[in-house]
Amino acid sequence: MSKATIFIIDDDQQVRVALSLLMESVGWEVKLFSTATSFLKQFDSSIPGCIISDIRMPMMSGLDLQMKLKERSMAPPILMITGHGDVAMAVRAIQEGALDFIEKPFNNQYLLDKVHKAIEIDADNRETKLRVLEVNEKYNRLTDKEKEVFGLIIKGALSKQIAEEVFVTQSAVEARRSKIMEKMNADNISDLMKMAMTMDMINV
């Protein structure tokens, strides 16, 4: 995985520079943008990290940016920087999924702690996304008949019950079960259940 990057978006150059120096002081890679539009033009969902954005900017506000990012795959967590009088907007940003909002003038250590947390959350989200993709890829290798048996297995049906349900012999069900375990790289039924939960096929 690529090194985490802090994307700083603010139309105030002094704020951009101050934030950049703060983030670089603890070893993080930083990219600066004066507008949300310029950030979106170069947005690459494969780069992990965190977004720090001013909430009130010309052309596209931080809130508008956040709504655009919700349409993208694997957008990093976003922290909103807000001035006095923007708190209502910031609260709305939180309701829409922003990780937090930091009022100006911000406390350096508080902001660093929030960025560190955001990077951890982003890493967890990416790991979960990768795990879901891997399980789905395995599941898609199953034939339609194998998927049918898979669905009955995770419902707790026994081979005899499955045979009656799909109108085949019990030995045919056992053969399909064996093929499912092989294709899904599962050691036991518990593994299949976990994979089914990963794909939201069953609830915990």
Read off the pLDDT of residues 22-33 as tens digits, 9 standing for 90 and up: 999 999 999 999
CA neighbor of 71 nearest in space, from 92, 40, 42, 46: 40
Indicate the pTM of the whole model. 0.77
Q: In Å, how far are 11, 34, 144, 200 from 59, measured between CA atoms?
A: 10, 11, 50, 39
Quick one: average pLDDT of 36-52? Answer: 94
Above 80 in pLDDT, residue 181? yes
Above 50 in pLDDT, residue 1? no
CA distance 9 to 105: 16
- In this prediction, residue 96 carries a pLDDT of 86
Quick one: average pLDDT of 59-64? Answer: 91
What's the angle, vertex CA 114, arms to CA 111 and CA 115, rounded to 5? 85
